[in-house]
Structure 1
Amino acid sequence: MAPRFLRSRLLGGPVLAATLLATSAVFAAPTSGWAQPAALAVTEHQAESATISQGLAESNHAGYTGTGFVNYDNATGSYVEFTVGAASSGPATLTFRYANGTTVNRPMAVTVNGGTAVSVAFPGTGAWSTWRTATASVTLPAGTNRIRATATTSTGGPNLDRLTVDTGTVGVGRPADVNGQLRVCGVKLCNQYGQPIQLRGMSTHGIQWYSQCVKTASLDALASDWGADVLRISMYVQEGGYETDPRRFTDMVHGYIEEATRRGMYALVDWHQLDPGDPNANISLARTFFTEVASRHRNKTNIIYDIANEPNNVSWAGIKSYAEQMIPVIRAQDPDGVVFVGTHGWGSLGISDGRTEQDIIGNPINATNFMYTFHFYAASHQDEYFTALQRAASRIPIFVTEFGTQTYTGDGGNDFAYSQKYLDFLAANKIGWTNWNFSDDFRSGAVFKEGTCAGSTFTGTTVLKPAGVWIRDRMRTPDDFPTA
């Protein structure tokens, strides 16, 4: 049994009351040796190792995977053909990683065994070293298949890095595959096609306490049974977290990012500073951590960086100063990554500090491609918090990185009616969210019944508390994820 700590949220401002309830810690860091889940049969195929007609394998543009990429000749009919095995006949999602440094589409016809072609646009990515993904849904017969991507215009195809084949996602592209590299456009989070989207998912509990709840079977369930778009990786800085063993916790985060990536989810890396509440107190640690994480995962298109979880007992000016120092740290490694910044008053837009969102609107962070975060617990944070969110949503980009259906302690009774009021507003305004929390903690805010994480069954509703049943049900109908 891992030690459990009470995450207390007082009505004028949440705080952490670190109450040790057990003495033995279990650290179950994910490793690259995790078994590939049977429900998500994913294989990767490097373009430079495939059959190439009218093109060359090159390595002169940074950011590719494997040993290089294929540069198509500027000719109609140039192609790359992959040999792909399928254990059984059925639908599959093809995800092509590519770069197109022009401003126009470089469309290709994608065929399986010479059959009917599926047209894929491959829009411009802004630079030949900027890599994104494009998807196609096909049916693969059992056995060996030839998947060919053929240029259909005289400009040829894009630079093609690799093909990922997923035979576990029936007829629908996975969230991170469809949406690709995110960016902030106006006050919305937009996908690679410039279309506003809403991501929905779950937050882990503190990984120093509940890593046993984040494993192959639970993540398979989150991706396939729940239909989550995003996994928030909650890494506390204090409270027995990062500062006690930076190497171990950084490696845990690396592992969780890879597991989210394998399942087509976005990975939201949460620097969960809480006490001390001033993020500047941990800025040296934050620089070290985010430099490594952004450098390691810079070529992925599914990473989001949250640099300050719940600033508290600190002015908005102090948070702004911290953010304007930290955002360039990430940009130096990952120029395209979206960054989240917590707002004052424990992520309440200042309300829990007796302030308002006007502090932010009147003194915004001097950066681009970032969003402000908001937290609420629906049984406690009602009209004053909700109306602040309403006022702010049209003025600044917001993502709800943490909320619960119960009280500010993460426990107590659920107010599903007020929770639905929040979620309706978030859906109407394309504001993404992650729910607290994906564990079997004894509190009502943990979605699993106590003891669930010791087992291997995480699908369906029998293992869920009422809050878990409710939030799973609202996650299973995906956003439409427009691509045009």
Structure 2
Amino acid sequence: MMKKLKKRFCSIIVLIAMLFVAVPSVVAAAESNYSHLLGNSNVKKPSVGGRLQVLEKNGVKTLCDESGELIQLRGMSTHGLQWFPGIVNQNAFVTLSNDWDSNVIRLAMYVAEGGYASNSSIMQTVINGINYAIANDMYVIVDWHTLNPGDPNASVYTGAQTFFNTIADLYPNSKYIIYELCNEPNSENGGVSNDATGWAAVKSYAEPIIQSLREKGNQNIIIVGNPFWSQRPDLAADNPINDVNTMYSVHFYSGTNPVSTVDTNRDNAMSNVRYALNHGVAVFATEWGTSLATGTTGPYLGKADAWLDFLNENNISWCNFSISNKDEIASALTSSTSMDPGSDYVWSESELTTSGQYVRARIKGIYYATPEDPSTSEPTAPIDFSSGYWDFNDGTTQGFGINADSPITAVTVANENNALRITGLNTKGSNDLSENNYWANVRLSADIWGQSINIYGDTKLTMDIIAPSPANVSIAAIPQSSSHGWANPTRAIRVWTGNFTAQSDGTYKATLTISTADSPNFSTIAADASDSTVTNMILFVGSDSDDISLDNIKFIP
């Protein structure tokens, strides 16, 4: 304990020195572009804010306190309570409330993945967490953490109504509690589609639970997830639930999800938030991280600043994932740090990861001194896979390169104009246009991709072919998963010069479609509910043109 007190005293001295000496010049240099990162006047504890409600302010629906004034919640989300129950302790909650100035904690109660569905004792961990939150003047999000399968209507989630009724009976109409009905609807294992139909399935699940809670007299804020891992609140805005205190979640990871200044890009999470706000619904960022969506690589603090500046400017509440000691970039605690900070109620700086130090400062609304300018100190720009398919919008080849077994290696593969440009095809001999001799052409693979796509139930693989003039192109494909490594394509699919149409930028474009009948591996993976996740793609590409580009490579039903 004494060691921690000494560290805390030293940290205070350093902070005072920074405030008196460094802040005026450094803040202007490092944070001048993010005007909403400092300060927290709307961040109020339940003892001040009271019962929460959704109201319209300046034409936008947003979270307000009992008196009708703006309130913003800032805090942490736990990791899965079946894996990290140790975070639910009195000392940790005191620390988050007092040292971090959090006014909210999210209890991530996974249902599958060894969670509540198979271990109902986790309910007591949730109850303990609620009690600690109330005792320490924090709002508490009770999260029914759906993940895999991705449809909240799946049989493993049938206990949702009973679970929420039980919490409501234990804490009737409590001003502290916020209900999050489904964490991340997605397409995994027969989940929901990334469109209006997928949202309709989520809505049909949520409405009876909301009605039951309201009939019990609970006016609590309710948050509902949405398709594509809660990145589509825009879909909810087009077909909202008829309830005044229902909000819609957005989840993002700063290394994966880029910022947007428009509300029209349906492949961008921030754009979808802007659309939702502009079309009459309120949004809550119940989960976000400083890393890639995998929890690894980073932290991307400059990109996180841009996101938080947007959230704070629009009074959108947020919880960072996660307050745990899991050995990953997104965790706030180092892997050797106890989740019980001790009776001095503080985790020292050395016990916090870089992400933890950063998020603590952002919750408090105080200056955070990044080691260097974010543009030079952060890792290389990550693969932007927020679209869920190869769109090449991040300026990289998103894993694609010449396969080690390719018979032709002299062609060049690069990202140009946010597409995968392949040059030298014809002159280097990758020009066989027959259905069956695709083996003679260059072989590309995305095995350094580091991402995955669930293709369960999909029947087509489509891609745009772009060329400076109409061309003849032949492509065969082998998607691969962890257990389905190889099956020869049935044939290559071809587009001809007559299939291309002129574009406004002077190029020509055609769409090539490969079916499950053309690629046995595709057929097998798409039908395997236990292993329907593509982790690599092999393409055999031939053309009588030296210069073609591929874009928007996606699997569809």
Question: Same fold by TM (over 0.5)?
Answer: yes
Q: What's 1:388 paired with?
A: 272
* Residue 259 of structure 1: aligned partner: 132
Matched position secondary structure for 1:235? strand
**Which consecutive residues of structure 2, in runs of 5 or more, have no partner in the other structure?**
1-41, 193-197, 260-267, 367-557
Aligned residue for 2:112?
Answer: 238
Q: State how far apart, in whole Å, the 2-side matches of 1:288 and 1:379 are.
A: 37
Which AA in structure 1 matches 2:122? Answer: F
Question: Which of 456, 476, 483 matches 2:341?
Answer: 456
Indicate the residue corresponding to 2:238 in structure 1: 362
Query: 2:106·2:141 contact (CA, 8 Å) conserved in 1?
Result: yes
Q: What is residue 209 of structure 2 aligned with on the other side? A: 326
Letter in 2 for 1:471: V
Aligned counterpart in structure 2 of residue 183 of structure 1, from 49, 53, 59: 53
Code of the residue aligned with 2:117 in structure 1: it is E
1:443 and 2:316 equivalent? Answer: no
Deviation at 1:324, TM superposition (A): 1.1
- Note if contact 1:283-1:322 (Cα within 8 Å) is conserved in structure 2: no
AA of the residue aligned to 2:269: Y
Aligned-residue offset at 1:215 = 1.4
CA distance 1:173–1:477, change in 2 (3 Å): closer
> AA paired with 2:357?
V
Contact 2:291 2:297 in 1 (8 A): yes
- Give the drift of 1:222: 0.5
Instruction: Work out whether residues 117 and 157 of structure 2, in 8 Å CA contact, stay in contact via their aligned partners in 1.
Output: no
Q: Which residue of 1 aligns with 2:171?
A: 297
Aligned to 1:61: none
Q: Deviations for 1:320-348, whole angstroms, at most 9, x for unmatched residues?
A: 11111111122233421110000111000
Equivalent position to 1:433, from 292, 301, 318: 318
Structure 1 residues 202, 334: CA separation in 2 closer, same or farther (over 3 Å shift)?
farther
Which of residues 291, 295, 306 in structure 2 aligns to 1:410? 295
The answer as to whether partners of 1:174 and 1:264 remain within 8 angstroms in 2 is no
Q: Deviations over 1:49-99 (max 9, x none)?
A: xxxxxxxxxxxxxxxxxxxxxxxxxxxxxxxxxxxxxxxxxxxxxxxxxxx
Partner Cα distance (1:460, 1:230) in 2: 21
Once residues 323 and 339 of structure 2 are traced to their aligned partners in structure 1, the CA distance between those partners, rounded to angstroms, is 14
Change (3 A) 1:455 1:299: closer
> Which one has more relative contact order, counting CA pairs under 8 Å at least 6 apart?
1
1:411 deviation in Å?
Answer: 1.4
Q: Does structure 1 residue 272 correspond to structure 2 residue 145? A: yes
- Alpha-carbon distance in 2 for matches of 1:348, 1:404: 14
- Equivalent residues of 1:372, 1:399 under 8 A apart: yes
Aligned counterpart in structure 1 of residue 308 of structure 2, from 423, 433, 443: 423
Superposition deviation, residue 196 in structure 1: 1.8
Structure 1: gaps spanning 5 or more residues: 1-171, 351-356, 479-484
In the other structure, the counterpart of 2:424 is none
- Give the alignment partner of residue 465 of structure 1, picking from 330, 349, 353: 353
Post-superposition offset of 1:459: 2.7
Q: Look up the match of 1:50.
A: none
State the shift of 1:299 in Å: 4.4
Name 2:459's counterpart in structure 1. none
Give the 3-state SS of the residue equivalent to 1:453 in structure 2: coil
TM-score (normalizing by structure 2):
0.52
Q: 1:192 to 1:420 in 2, by over 3 A?
A: same
Counterparts of 1:145-294 in structure 2 under 5 Å? 175-186=45-56, 187-246=61-120, 248-281=121-154, 282=156, 284-294=158-168
Offset of 1:174 from its aligned partner? 6.5
Contact 2:44–2:72, Cα closer than 8 Å, also in 1: no
The one-letter amino acid of 1:273's match is T
Amino acid of the residue matched to residue 140 of structure 2?
A
1:337 partnered with 2:207: no
Structure 2: which amino acid aligns with 1:464? L
The DSSP-based 3-state class of the residue aligned with 1:462 is helix
Distance 1:460 1:389 in 2: 35
The corresponding residue for 2:180 is 306
The equivalent of 1:85 in structure 2 is: none
Q: Percent identity?
A: 36
Task: Write the distance in 1 (CA, Å) between the matches of 2:361 and 2:231.
Answer: 26
Distance 1:454 1:420 in 2: 26
| Farther-moved stretch of structure 1 (468-477 vs 325-334) | 325-334
The alpha carbon displacement at 1:173 in A equals 11
Aligned to 1:242, the other structure's residue is in SS state coil
The structural deviation recorded for 1:300 is: 2.2
Residues 1:196 and 1:460: Cα distance change in structure 2 (over 3 Å): same
Deviations 1:96-127 (A, max 9, x none): xxxxxxxxxxxxxxxxxxxxxxxxxxxxxxxx
Amino acid at match of 2:149: P
Aligned partners of 1:439 and 1:453 also within 8 Å: no
Cα-to-partner distance string for 1:277-318 (whole Å, 9 max, x where unaligned):
111125530011000001111142110000010011211110
What amino acid sits opposite 2:203 in the alignment? K
Output the CA distance in 2 between the equivalents of 1:206 and 1:245: 13
CA distance in 2, matches of 1:366, 1:382: 31
- In structure 2, what residue type is equivalent to 1:185? L
Asked whether the equivalents of residues 294 and 334 of structure 1 are also in contact (C-alpha less than 8 Å), the reply is no
How far apart are the structure 2 equivalents of 1:342 and 1:280? Answer: 13
User: Match for 2:237: what amino acid?
Assistant: I
Q: How far does residue 410 in structure 1 lie from its aligned partner after superposition? A: 1.1
Match of 1:98 in 2: none
Q: Which residue is 1:140 aligned to?
A: none
Q: Work out whether residues 234 and 272 of structure 1, in 8 Å CA contact, stay in contact via their aligned partners in 2.
A: yes
Determine if contact 1:411/1:443 at 8 Å carries over to the other structure. yes
Supply the distance in 2 between the matched residues of 1:455 and 1:274 (Cα, whole angstroms): 28
SS in 1 for 2:304: helix
Deviation, 1:424, is: 0.6
* Distance (Å, rounded) in 2 between the aligned partners of 1:190 and 1:317: 28
- 1:216 and 1:283 map into 2 onto residues whose CA distance is 30
SS of residue matched to 1:322: helix
- Note if 1:477 corresponds to 2:362: no
d(CA) in 2 for partners of 1:299 and 1:320? Answer: 23
| 1:379-401 alpha-carbon deviations (Å, 9 max, x no partner) | 11114322222232232200000
Structure 1 residues 328, 462: CA separation in 2 closer, same or farther (over 3 Å shift)?
Answer: same
What's the TM-score once normalised by structure 1's chain length?
0.59
Larger radius of gyration: 2
Closer, same or farther: CA 426–455 of 1 in aligned 2, 3 Å: closer
